[in-house]
Structure 1
Amino acid sequence: MSKEVFLGISMISPQQVEAMIKAEMPDAQVQVQDLTGGGDHYQVTVVSSQFAGKRLVQQHQIVYRSLQEAMSTEAIHALALKTYTPETWQTAVQS
């Protein structure tokens, strides 16, 4: 998406956040929660095999890259991330 898409838009839907992440990470399972109802503070959980062998900060950088334009225009103001490989996700949901 171009920067112009976000200019003047005060909110982005959870579905748009999911679509932006999946555009960069097609294998990802993505859950998006709007934390305030204002469309600019999100909690996002991403499960992807692309995270295998990467440190947590590297995993987050991958997700941030997919949302860079929305964040640079402040269409997304705050983002809380939880990232998992498919294996670590299975462990997390079993606990």
Structure 2
Amino acid sequence: MIEQIKSLIEKEIECEELRVDGDGSHFQVIIVSKAFEGLRSVKKQQMVYATVNEHIASGDIHALTIKAYTPEEWSKAKHFL
């Protein structure tokens, strides 16, 4: 399922970096994209949710934690992860 989630996200959002981890139906996503520039956190998350919404609706994905960054935000945040 991890590779499937990555593929769905990459198909819709151009990523500089994408990490997907998890098991069962609980997943964590770290995504870095220029597409997020100028957007608030909620809008960034909505963009990512939209790529996997079908799997959330079906129950394949029960929980999805998203950390979405612009490249500039990532250059600062990655040192704390």
**Corresponding position of 1:20:** 8
SS at match of 1:30: strand
Q: Give 1:26 shift.
A: 2.6
Asked if residue 94 in structure 1 is aligned to residue 64 in structure 2, the reply is no
Identical positions, percent:
36
Matched-pair contact (CA < 8 Å) for 1:22–1:28: no
Larger radius of gyration: 1
1:13-34 superposed Cα distances (whole Å, 9 cap, x missing partner)? 1111100000101334210111
Distance 1:30 1:63 in 2: 11
Distance 1:29 1:93 in 2: 11
Matched-pair contact (CA < 8 Å) for 2:31–2:68: yes
SS at match of 1:65: helix
Aligned length: 80
Q: Give 1:85 shift.
A: 0.3
Asked if residue 60 in structure 1 is aligned to residue 48 in structure 2, the reply is no
Q: TM-score, normalised by structure 2?
A: 0.91
Q: Which amino acid aligns with 2:43?
A: Q
Q: Give 1:94 shift.
A: 3.4
Query: Please, what is the CA RMSD of the aligned residues?
Result: 1.2
Q: As a proportion of its length, which structure holds more helix?
A: 2
Q: TM-score, normalised by structure 1?
A: 0.79
Q: Which runs of 4+ in 1 moved over 3 A?
A: none
Please list every run of 5 or more consecutive structure 2 residues that lacks an aligned counterpart in the other structure.
none
